[in-house]
Structure 1
Amino acid sequence: MAKEEEPEPEPEEYLFKIVIVGDSAVGKSNLLSRYAQDEFKPNSKATIGVEFQTQSMVIDGKDVKAQIWDTAGQERFRAVTSAYYRGAVGALLVYDITRSSSFDSVGRWLHELSAHSDTSITKMLVGNKCDLEDDRAVSVEQGRRLAEAEGLFFTETSALGSTNVKTAFETVIKEIYSGIRKNKVLKSDSHDKAQLSLNRISLTSNGNNESKETLNRPSCC
């Protein structure tokens, strides 16, 4: 009697919730539209409340989806958007390199993240609009020092020129994926799909050193 073949295991799927935070007009929406649709809208209006895009990529043969939320930066929307931090496992903290006030606000956004999200959240500090080098008000070194002090990934981007945008998002996604894979090794008896909006992960403190070294040296401009 022929041995009955065992059904192939269902492929694993991963869903990560990522939020983009920062002051109004730092370019959060344009970063997302550049990454998700390869578009730049110079006359885009301020985001009201929250919008999101879902992006998929394959890592190690696994289907990885990132649900990326673009949160409004205006103060009057903070009470609305704070609920959307819950369940996030990744965050891009964006400032405008031509506006020092937006860089000064990074500490407040870090506080928001720590108040409304898990401590294991993967964070990337992003200095946007690096195409405006002549108007620069925040140096690369200032951004790097803050990132190192807070344990963040760091890069500078240009949504207009599409500089480092893909790298910024995909570094966060890959780091989250790496963290959940390491966690699953420790919990080898778990066979559930990794729905990161439901299940927390614990990232190692050193993370991916090669990625951090690369991102601590922005290639823009």
Structure 2
Amino acid sequence: MDYVTTLKILVIGESGVGKSSIILAFTTGDYNTAFPATIGVDYKMKVMEVNGVKVKLGIWDTAGQERYRTLTSSFYRDAHGAILVYDVSEPKSLAKLQEWVEELQVYSTKKNIVSLVVGNKIDKPRAVTRAQGQEFAQKHRMLFIESSAKTKEGIELAFEELVQKIIETPGLWETGPTNSNIRIGDSEEARRQQQSSCYDYTCTI
């Protein structure tokens, strides 16, 4: 089956929270303990299937350093989804995520863009509780999940949940004869809701 559409996904957040590691774990299954800081913007691509829907993801890895922020504003344009990452071992990274939410709201050209908050590095001693991350996500009406790029826990599911929500959002992505009949099965959705407590994600949309 050919892929039915291309989705633009942004991964944003402060430097050092593991954005590039999350993308690497998702696209290749690898983990690099000495991953260099992203300069400007990096790009990866992966084809995935969610509930029988095959899509091509264009994943934009934006630099977290303040000096590169002016280089990335144009890359928010036409994004279908955004993954906002913080480090569960660093409370400041969650507090700074508010600035990224505001930047997303300013530069995103799709007002119904789907956003997912990811608390990364759960393999490390945590300084941010799961409840704090969930509260932030609920405040901004975003999906939520915790992950570890090192162990790969939650990585695949994070992208699956984001893509599923994008597909379910009317008018967010291009429609046509090939993809206009795409639906997420009721039984599959019920199964995911039953598993939510196991995978620690919250959808408040």
150, 162, 168: which one aligns with 1:178: 168
What amino acid maps onto 2:137 in structure 1? Answer: A
Partner SS state of residue 56, structure 2:
strand
Classify 1:104/1:213 alpha carbon distance in 2 versus 1 (closer, same or farther; 3 Å): farther
1:42 corresponds in structure 2 to: 33
Structure 2 residue 131 is matched with structure 1 residue 141: yes
Classify the secondary structure of the residue corresponding to 1:169: helix
Secondary structure of the residue that 2:136 maps to in structure 1?
A: helix
Residue of structure 2 equivalent to 1:103: 94
Work out whether residues 153 and 215 of structure 1, in 8 Å CA contact, stay in contact via their aligned partners in 2.
no
Pairing 1:154–2:139 present: no
SS class of match (2:55): strand
Partner in structure 1 of residue 182 of structure 2: none
Task: Give 1:124's match in structure 2, choosing from 87, 112, 116.
Answer: 116
Which residues of 2 match residues 1-221 of structure 1 at below 5 A?
Answer: 13-59=4-50, 61-117=52-108, 118-133=110-125, 136-179=126-169, 182-183=170-171, 191=176, 214-215=195-196, 218-219=199-200
Distance in 2, matches of 1:216 and 1:85, equals 32
Q: With structure 1 as the length reference, what TM-score do the two structures score?
A: 0.77
User: How far off its partner does 1:41 sit?
Assistant: 0.5
Give the Å deviation of 1:149.
Answer: 1.4
Q: Distance in 2 between matches of 1:115 and 1:192?
A: 33
The separation in 1 between residues aligned to 2:197 and 2:72, in whole angstroms, is: 29
Q: Measure how far apart 1:191 and its partner are.
A: 3.2
Q: What CA distance in whole angstroms lies between the structure 2 residues aligned with 1:105 and 1:63?
A: 34
Larger Rg: 1
**What is the number of residues matched between the two proteins?**
190
- 2:118 is aligned with what amino acid? V
Whole-angstrom distance in 2 between the partners of 1:166 and 1:12: 18
* Paired amino acid for 1:67: G
Please list every run of 5 or more consecutive structure 1 residues that lacks an aligned counterpart in the other structure: 1-9, 195-207
Q: State the Cα distance separating 1:110 from its structure 2 match.
A: 0.4
Alpha-carbon deviation of 1:58? Answer: 2.8
Q: Distance in 2 between matches of 1:61 and 1:192?
A: 16
- For the residue of structure 1 that corresponds to 2:58, the secondary structure is strand
Q: Distance in 2 between matches of 1:56 and 1:94?
A: 22
Question: What's 2:183 paired with?
Answer: none
CA-to-aligned-CA distance 1:50-98 (integer Å, 9 cap, x gap):
1111111234544311101110000000000111010101000000011
In structure 2, stretches of 5+ residues that fail to align are 180-188
Q: How far apart, CA to CA, are the structure 2 residues paired with 1:30 and 1:109? A: 19
Residue 119 of structure 1 aligns to a residue whose secondary structure is coil
Cα RMSD between the aligned structures? 2.7
The answer on whether the counterparts of 2:11 and 2:59 sit within 8 Å (CA) in structure 1 is yes
CA distance in 1, matches of 2:197, 2:66: 30
**What amino acid is the match of 1:39?**
D
